[in-house]
Amino acid sequence: MTEEPRITRLESSDVDAILALWEKSGLPYKPKGRDDRKRLRDVIERGIEAFWGIYEEEKLVGVILVTHDGRKGWINRLAVDPAYQGKGWARRLIRQAEDYLREAGVEIVAVLVENWNKESLNLFRSCGYTLHDDIYYLSKREQPDV
C-alpha cells in the first residue's frame, strides 16, 4: 500500500535533496552563487525563505520556494522530478505556497517565469495567475552567480 503524498516545510538539512531535485528536473540554478549549499542553509535557518517539498513515499519529488515582504509574496524555484510530473504535484505545491502566504496576511502572490518556459507559464495561468505584458523586470547584481 502506497501512502498519500505529503507536503512539508523543508529545513536546512534538506538542501542536498533540494539541489539534487533541481538538477534532476533541469531547473537552472547557480551552485557557485545564490544557490550555494551554505547560503541556502543560512537563509532557511533564518526564515528568510520557506521551502516546501512534496514527498511520495520517502522521496522528495517536488519543491517550491516562497518568500514575502509582508505585502507581496513570491513563488520561486518550482520543480518536480520528471518521473513524477503529470500527477498534480506542482499544483499542490502552488496551493501550499498560496495558503502559506494567505496565513501570513499576504494578498498578492507573484511569480516570475522566463519567456522560454512555456510549460510553467501555462501552469500558472491555469492556476489563475494573470500574465502582465506591461511590467518590466530589472535587476542589479553584484556578480553573475547571485
Does residue 1 have a pLDDT over 70? Answer: no
Model confidence pLDDT, tens digit, residues 15-63: 999 999 999 999 999 999 889 999 999 999 998 889 999 999 889 999 9
Task: Give the pLDDT of residue 61.
Answer: 97
Distance of CA 11 to the CA centre of its chain: 14
Q: Where are the domains of the chain?
A: 6-126
Per-residue pLDDT reduced to its tens digit, 60-113: 999 999 999 999 999 999 999 999 999 999 999 999 999 999 999 999 999 999
* Residue 11 in grid coordinates: 529545513
Q: What is the 3-state composition of the chain as percent helix, strand, coil, each rounded to the nearest 5?
A: 35, 25, 40
| CATH dotted code for 6-126 | 3.40.630.30
> Which three-class secondary structure state does DSSP give residue 74?
strand
